[in-house]
Structure 1
Amino acid sequence: MKRVHVIGGKNHGKTTLVIDLIHELDDRGLRAGAIKHSHHHHELDIPRKDSYGHRESGAVVVGVLSPAMNALFWTGDAGASSESTNSAARYDTFASAMLGCDVVLVEGDSRTAAPKIEVCRAQFDTQSMADRLADVRAIVTDDEIRSELPILHRNDVPSIVDFLLRMLNDESSSSVGESCGEQRLLVNDFAKPQCGLEAFPEFSLRLQP
C-alpha cells in the first residue's frame, strides 16, 4: 500500500492535517485510508462486552460485524522490543483491508522506515525531526522555517496532496513504505519468507518439438 506518515511534535496539528488531507483526497475521488499510531497500551475493545470475552477466552483474532461498522481486534506482542514494535512488518495486519486505498495516511510513528512529512510549528521552539530522520520528504508549516527540504504551507492543502501523490508515485516502483509481507500479499503468497523474485509463484515453460 502507498503509505505516508504524518509526524510532528505534540499539539503541532497532525490530526487536523490528516483530516484535511482525507477531505481533499475524497474530493478528488481517491480512496484514503488512515492509521493512528500510538506508543501507549490502549484497550480498544470494551470490557464486559461479548467480543472482549471472546478475546479474553483465548481467541487470537476477534471480529465485530454490524450494519454500520466492522472491526477486528487482536493482541499485540507486549514483550516485543521497541525496534520490532515499530517495524514496517506491523503494517502487514492492515494490508488486506487497505488494498483498495489509493493513499494510506499514518498519524505518527516516526521510527518506522517509510516516507514522511513533518508538521512543524516554530512557536513551540522544538527541533525539527527532519534533522535526524532521513526519510522526511517535506515540512508542512505556516511559519517561517529554513530547511533544505520542500516547505509546504499548512493552509494550502491541495498543494500538499499534489506533493504527496507525486512523491508516492515516484517511490512506488521501489516499494518504499511497503514491508515484505505487504508485497507478498499483492501476489497472494505468504509462504515465501523473503521479498524480491521469490515472492512470485513459480512457473515452467515447456516447448513442444
Structure 2
Amino acid sequence: MVTPVLFQITGYQNTGKTTVIINLIEYLKSAGFAVSVLKHHGHGTPDLPDKDSARHFKAGAGAALVEGNGTIQLHASLSDEETDSIEKLLEILNMFNPDIVLIEGYKNKPFPKAVIIKEENDLVLLKSLRNIHAVLCWPEVAGKVHSLNLALPVFEINSSEFHNWFLQHYKIMG
C-alpha cells in the first residue's frame, strides 16, 4: 500500500476552509487523483442524522456503519487515549487507498499546510503554526500579507493558481 500525501488546509472558523477543500478535491479528481478528507470538527460533537445507524451509535455502539449503493457512513467513538490521535483516523482513511489526504483543521499538527488569512488578526497563525507551505488570503488582506515578504507562496483565496501550485507541490512531496 502506498502512503498518501498529507496536506492540511487550516485557518480560523468561517475563513473558507471547506470551500477551498471542495474546490481542490474537484480539481485533483479531474486530474486523476484519489482524494480523501479528514475534517476536524472543533466545535463539539458533530450532529448525527436521525437514521438507524445514528440511533445505534447514540444507543452505545462503539461503531455503526451503514452501506447503500456502495456508499458507507461510519459513526464511531474513539477511546479516551485515542481522542487526540489523528494517526488512527488517517489509518482508517488509508483503507480507501487515496493518493492525497486533505486535512481540514488540526492546525497545530505538524503536517504540511496552507493557512487561510481572512483578516489582519489571523496573521498570528503565520508565526504560531509549523510546516506552512503556502498562504491563502482574502482580497481584503492581500496587500498586508504580501507586505510581510514571506518566504512562502501567497495566493488569493479564490485563485486557481493555488490548485496548479498544489499539483506541482504534490509531485515534489509524493
TM bracket (short chain): 0.7 to 0.9
Q: State the structure with more CA Rg.
A: 1
2:101 maps to what in 1? 104
Q: Is the 8 A contact 2:5 2:173 kept in 1?
A: no
Aligned pairs for 1:159-198 (under 5 A) are: 159-172=161-174
| Superimposed CA distance per residue, residues 147-179 of structure 1 (whole angstroms, 9 cap, x where no aligned partner) | 22221232322x21232233333233xxxxxxx
TM-score, with structure 1 as normaliser = 0.66
Residue number among 131, 137, 141 corresponding to 1:135 in the alignment: 131
Distance 1:112 1:89, change over 3 A: farther
Q: Is the 8 A contact 1:139 1:150 kept in 2?
A: yes
Distance 1:63 1:138, change over 3 A: same
* Greater share of strand: 2
Aligned partner letter, 2:122: T
Residue number among 57, 75, 85 corresponding to 2:77 in the alignment: 75
Distance 1:12 1:124, change over 3 A: farther
2:89 maps to what in 1? 90
Gaps of 5+ in 2: none
Q: Is the 8 A contact 1:117 1:136 kept in 2?
A: yes
Residue number among 2, 9, 13 corresponding to 1:10 in the alignment: 13
Distance 1:160 1:50, change over 3 A: same
How many residues are paired up? Answer: 164
Residues 1:118 and 2:118 are matched in the alignment: no
Residues in 1 aligned to 2:6 and 2:49: alpha-carbon distance in whole angstroms: 29
1:202 maps to what in 2? none
How far is 1:94 from its partner? Answer: 1.7
Residues 1:153 and 2:156 are matched in the alignment: yes
Between the two proteins, what is the percent identity of the paired residues? 21
Q: Is the 8 A contact 1:5 1:116 kept in 2?
A: yes
Aligned partner letter, 1:105: L
Residue number among 15, 19, 24 corresponding to 2:22 in the alignment: 19
Aligned-residue RMSD, C-alpha: 2.5
| Superimposed CA distance per residue, residues 59-91 of structure 1 (whole angstroms, 9 cap, x where no aligned partner) | 4332101127311221123x348xx61543432
Aligned partner letter, 1:130: L
